[in-house]
Amino acid sequence: MKSEAMQYPTATNTFTFLFFSFTVLFSFFSFLVFLFRMKPWCNCHTCRAYLTLTWTKQFNNLADWYTHLLRKSPTATIHMHVLGNIITADPNNVEYILKTRFDNYPKGKQFSTLLGDLLGRGIFNVDGEAWRFQRKMASLELGSVAIRSYALEVVTKEIRSRLFNIFNQNDGVLDLQDIFRRFSFDNICIFSFGLDPGCLEPSLPVSDLAVAFDDASKLSAERAMMASPIIWKMKRLLNIGSEKKLKEAVKVVNDLAEEMIKQRREMGHSTSKDLLSRFMSSVNDDKDLRDIVVNFLLAGRDTVAAALTCFFLLLSKNPQVESLIREELDRVMEPAQDVARFDQLCDMHYLNAAVHESMRLYPPVQFDSKFALQDDVLPDGTFVRKGTRVTYHPYAMGRMERIWGSDCLEFKPERWLRDGVFVPKCPFKYPVFQAGPRVCLGRELALVEMKSAVAASVRRFDIRVVNTGSEPRFMPGLTATVRGGMPVQVSERRQ
Ligand code: HEM
């Protein structure tokens, strides 16, 4: 016999039943909309190769396959129908998207919801007025000479007290990628919060913030790889699996950020030089402060580490470039000097050229997407339907003969020099730091950090990548991370 509760459902049971029915129906409807927009039934040659993964037989990385397709395309633009994504390597299209019709190509809701739990309403994750306001404020802060010399002060200390020790104490193989990730995380945390997580300090325990931040950015990026956003949204609603882990990681980041903000308020922030203290004079809301600083952590951490890691891969393969860098260091620095000063870094044209050249071949952000607000036509004639994702691809662009000439695959710092002086290239041909109104705000800081680390390391050590024979395989994610790390052997040079 049925129990009374089963014969007469309670109000709670009815609510649960209605809630789940609504969720299932809503998800099904959203999935149909998704199918319709993405056209996963497209049977063209490229889409079939994508869906059946046949491209993996010939290429190590998706970026290499896209490069191959873009080089073959007469317009240097391709349309991945199954992904609803137009990908371009044409500098005119890039200028049009990033500058001429900037207002028609925002980051869009699709992007901001993926990273929203971690980045909140920070500069990286918003469009329109919210972006304009933060951009203005952040440009003022980051453009100052004082912040640049503070950044160099932070980096110099990290090199002297930690990077040299790690290189000195080893007697085997080191993972250079891991070392530079720790190095850049320490730097960006001290620079942004005034907090030293000590990631590169072997005697300190693993930093909670570093682990939580890694997890949160990885799990947020993985949302983009799911067949449909409905999947992660359902998991988040039910607080299960990867979404539960993401929520926990974001909580650790938030708790630490709140604690830092509280401490700064108690200590008084007017004498501190970090970004948080600087922003505190103009931003009162603690949530806004948290968002601003966490966005800087994401922007400045993995990018610099990725750039440094691939730089040393190219240097190992091109010893003649290393010799020319050393000649320049000997010319500009004093004989017993370990880390270069700011004015000396400005005089190192060959080093600057080598750093730019390595990011041409291995840009830390390999591709970047916007979403069209209205129907449009790109300069090469490609029609863009409203809502379509439009991607520019710095990795492919660095490997286009049409842009860099027939020696485009060679590592040649000389292409950036005229009479020994560094000459920048058009940013729409080299959008490694993006270009136009939303160009990277940390470009100068990143270059100071990279050049300092390279100059100090190359002057004192021989750093050799163990296996230079094979091309790197990258992991899917926001920045270029080499699968399996970058094993190197390090030895101190005899002077
Ligand atoms: C080699 C190192 C770096 C590279 C290659 C790089 C590249 C980029 C790119 C491609 C973007 C555009 C991303 C997008 O809109 O989706 C960007 C934006 C940004 N970057 Fe960098 N970045 C680097 C280092 C840094 C550093 C060290 C900082 C901070 C100290 C920083 C701060 C920012 C900020 C705040 C934005 C957002 C700008 C805006 O939306 O208006 N970046 N960067």
Task: List, for residues 282-339, the tens digit of each pLDDT value.
Answer: 888 899 999 988 999 888 889 999 999 999 999 999 999 999 999 999 999 999 999 9
- Compute the distance between CA of residue 376 and CA of residue 368 in angstroms, rounded to an integer: 19
Number of domains in the chain: 1
- Does the annotation flag 440 for ligand binding? yes
pLDDT for position 267: 76
CA distances from 42 to 48, 79, 100 (A): 8, 11, 32
Tokens (6 digits) for 392 = 């520019």
Question: Distance between CA atoms of 332 and 345, rounded to whole angstroms?
Answer: 9
Domain presence at residue 217? no
pLDDT value of position 3: 42
Q: Is 55 exposed, middle or buried (0-12, 13-18, 19+ CB in 10 A)?
A: middle
Three-state SS string over 148-199 comes to HHHHHHHHHHHHHHHHHHHHHHCCCEEEHHHHHHHHHHHHHHHHHHCCCCCC
**Cα–ligand 1 centroid distance for 369 (angstroms):** 14
| Position in ligand 1 atom list of the atom nearest CA 142 | 30
Q: What is the pTM of this model?
A: 0.90
What is the rounded distance in angstroms from the CA atom of residue 282 to the CA atom of residue 289?
A: 10
Instruction: Name which residue sits closest to atom 6 of ligand 1, judged by CA.
Output: 433
> Residue 67: what pLDDT?
98
The verdict on residue 480 lying in a domain is yes
pLDDT at 165: 93
Ligand 1: distance of its center to the CA of 366 in Å?
13
Testing ligand 1's pocket by substitution, the residue of 135, 147, 440 carrying the most ligand atoms inside 8 A of its CB is: 440
The whole-angstrom separation of Cα 465 and Cα 175 is 9
Answer whether 292 contacts ligand 1 (Cβ < 6 A): no
- Kind of pairing, strands 85-88 and 389-392? parallel
Is the CB of residue 66 less than 8 Å from the CB of residue 78? yes
Residue with CA nearest ligand 1 atom 41: 438
Ligand 1 centre to CA of 124 (Å) is 8
Q: Which domain holds residue 141?
A: 60-111+119-203+301-492
Residue 161, both tokens = 């007290």
- 1 domain residue, yes or no: no
Considering only CA atoms, which of 442, 422, 485 is closest in space to residue 301? 442
CB neighbourhood size of 418 (10 A): 9
Residue 79, judged by CB atoms within 10 A of its CB (0-12, 13-18, 19+), counts as buried
CB 274 within 8 A of CB 141: no
Any ligand 1 atom below 6 A from CB of 364: yes
Whether residue 408 lies inside any domain: the answer is yes
Furthest-apart CA atoms within the chain: distance in Å = 95
Q: Any idea what the CATH number is for the domain that residue 329 is in?
A: 1.10.630.10
Judge if the beta carbon of residue 394 lies within 6 A of ligand 1. no
- Tell whether 178 is covered by a domain: yes
Is 475 part of a structural domain of the chain? yes
Residue 8's alpha-carbon distances to 16, 17, 21, 459, 464, in angstroms, are: 15, 14, 19, 81, 75
Q: Which segments in the chain show pLDDT lower than 50? A: 1-8
CA–CA distance, 292 with 102 (Å, rounded to integer)? 23
277 lies in some domain: no
- Asked if residue 346 belongs to a domain, the reply is yes
Q: Is the CB of 442 under 6 A from ligand 1?
A: yes
pLDDT score, position 153: 95
